[in-house]
Amino acid sequence: MEGATAHGASELQRREHVGAIPCHATAVCNEELVASDAGPLAELAVTDVFAVLQALRGTRRASAVATVKNVIRTAIRTDVPVLVELIGELAEYERAHDEVEIDDMMLERALFGPEPSAFAQVATVDDLIVGMALYYRSFSTWTGRPGIYLEDLYVRPAHRGLGIGRALLASLARLALDEDCRRLEWSVLDWNQPAIAFYHSIGAVATDEWTRYRLAGSALSDFASSL
């Protein structure tokens, strides 16, 4: 997500929408997650991504993750139309569908262009995509290490409660460790109490001392032309 200060910008790489989640992660059920970016946000971060993996290795929850982890894979080009559909569904849940501008061409360029600006993993059941995690790389000037910012995390309603959202999140935590990242971060809408409770349960902490700011639309162009 974007940071609140010049120095904090590196610290709090965020998502929009999930423009999203600047990445906001929200839970639609007590079990499942959605990540998004519109609306008032409470920032959460995991300063030690290993805490996520440890928390996700519980009793019943760990077995749920193990059950579905074999259907988590890296997104491919032909997944783009479904990913755009999922982004729209997430925006609808976040009451911001009218704000979505992305189309297939834009997402394909972002994920698979010469210089990708975003990445995605998908969850499939019977070869059908039922969930996604869309993320990008961040960097912390304080730790001197890269990080992962989760922009969107979403599981379709018919497949919630199976541990798929949890498995997607754990997969990103493992990726963060593999790439020597120090942080896995996202945002959550402040009214999504089930999601907030889940994030706290896995060791994520709210960065309440930071306030997110954004320049967009005419404010962005006006300020840019003020020099």
**Residue positions annotated with a catalytic role:** 199
Alpha carbon distance 205, 185 (integer Å): 10
Alpha carbon distance 119, 136 (integer Å): 6
Sole residue written with tokens 């394909």: 108
For residue 199, the surrounding DSSP H or E stretch is helix 193-201
Alpha carbon distance 97, 223 (integer Å): 27
Alpha carbon distance 201, 134 (integer Å): 22
Torsion, Cα 124 129 130 135, to 10 degrees, reads 90
Alpha carbon distance 36, 20 (integer Å): 5
Q: Which amino acid is at 32?
A: E
Which tokens go with 126?
């019977």
Of 170, 183, 205, nearest to 44 by C-alpha is: 205
